[in-house]
Amino acid sequence: MKVLTKDPIIKNLIGENNFSDAAKQLFEIQKEQWSMLNSGFKSLATVKSKLFQFDGFKIKAQFNVGRMISTSAKVDPKSISERKCFLCTENLPEEQRGILYTDKYIILCNPFPIFPTHFTLTRKEHRPQRIFGAFSDMLDLSKDISRYYSVIYNGPRCGASAPDHLHFQAGNKFFMPIDDEFHQIKNEYGKEIIENDNLSVFAVDDGLRKFISIESLNKKLVVKVFKKFYNTYSELMNENQEPMINLISFYEEEYGWRIIIFLRAKHRPAVFFAEGEAKMLVSPAAIDLGGVCVFPREEDFYRITKEQIADIFKEVFVDEVVLKKLAEVIKL
Ligand SMILES: [Zn+2]
């Protein structure tokens, strides 16, 4: 495959199973070779941000014009079927190179970054964005690049800009405030579901976000709890298709995996669809919910208030009843 890098340093790192440094090296090289990535990366230096302090956590608003296409992307089946898939290897830009991972995925640099180093991890073949069956791969990926990066997943109906092509994203650890604040949030707002030597599962409602967290060094246990969650949540939400979730997988050698499952009721808030003055271009997905809320239009960035951020977040999450029921069933 032409897209796969032949760089000898990267090949060496892959040979040592060091995908963290291989990915880091890919980003360094591609920045030099590929002008689109270079300008995307440079534009990050001019990104503006402002911080909203809530009780026990922060949400950063980021003005990032490079995210215009992604934030406003039309992801309805008709629009999707009428465009060329931008994640299929034959449609990637000429200069783009990637790293093959376990013969199933390709690690690519994202030319429209939010993270200082931002990757798209795409499935080699064109197949729909579905977490069931790919969750275990997500755990492996996040472990194998965990020296510097965490991995995120956006469901096909709540944030993925390619709902027809399976992909994850990865970016610098601790860039999203929740990476650092997780334990404080869990202690302050969490309700224990399962807690023993091998596994910790919590239901959390911090006033803005509702999520389930799974922590364990044991991959099988994480997968088992996730499957139970998935089935329960699908039933509760009365879904035949994938229930709306965004995931963050954060891995540390000493503690293992920490999965955050954001529980979504809505893809986009009402202000996204409003006309005129009331309109705000904001479309929350994993990174936004992790605490870096992206605004591609400057006017939205300047007028957004702490109260509005809180309202927008609350609006796109499930209600207390769903969280409570989920906790009850997962516990059994
Ligand atoms: Zn595709």
Residue-wise pLDDT for 16-39, tens only, equals 999 999 999 999 999 999 999 999
Average pLDDT over residues 44-71: 90
What per-residue confidence (pLDDT) applies to 270? 93
- CB 235 within 8 Å of CB 208: no
pLDDT confidence of residue 239: 77
CA 299 to ligand 1 centroid distance, Å: 34
pLDDT for 1: 83
For residue 58, the CA-to-ligand 1 centroid distance in Å is: 35
How far does the centroid of ligand 1 lie from the alpha carbon of residue 161, in Å? 12
Higher pLDDT, 200 or 76: 200
CA–centroid distance, residue 88 to ligand 1 (Å): 4
Concatenated DSSP letters of 68-105: HHHHT---SHHHHHTS--TTSGGGS-TT--EEEETTTE
Cβ pair 141, 121 in contact under 8 A: yes
For residue 112, report the distance from its CA to the centre of ligand 1, in Å. Answer: 18
pLDDT at 70: 72
Mean pLDDT of the chain: 95
66 or 38, higher pLDDT:
38
Q: What is the pLDDT of residue 72?
A: 72
The reported pLDDT for the residue numbered 59 is: 98
Ligand 1 centroid vs 163 CA: distance in angstroms? 9
- For ligand 1, the distance from its centroid to the CA atom of residue 124, given in whole angstroms, is 8
C-alpha of residue 289 to centroid of ligand 1, in Å: 26
pLDDT range class, residue 243, cuts 50, 70, 90: very high
What pLDDT digit, counting tens, does each position of 260-297 carry?
999 999 999 999 999 998 999 999 999 999 999 999 99
In angstroms, what is the span from residue 122 Cα to ligand 1's centroid? 9
pTM of the predicted model as reported, rounded to 2 decimal places:
0.96
- 13 CA from centroid of ligand 1 (Å): 28
Weakest mean pLDDT among 112-121, 186-195, 230-239, 302-311: 230-239
Q: Which of 37, 59, 45, 62 is nearest to 119 (CA)?
A: 37
Q: What is the mean pLDDT of residues 306-330?
A: 95
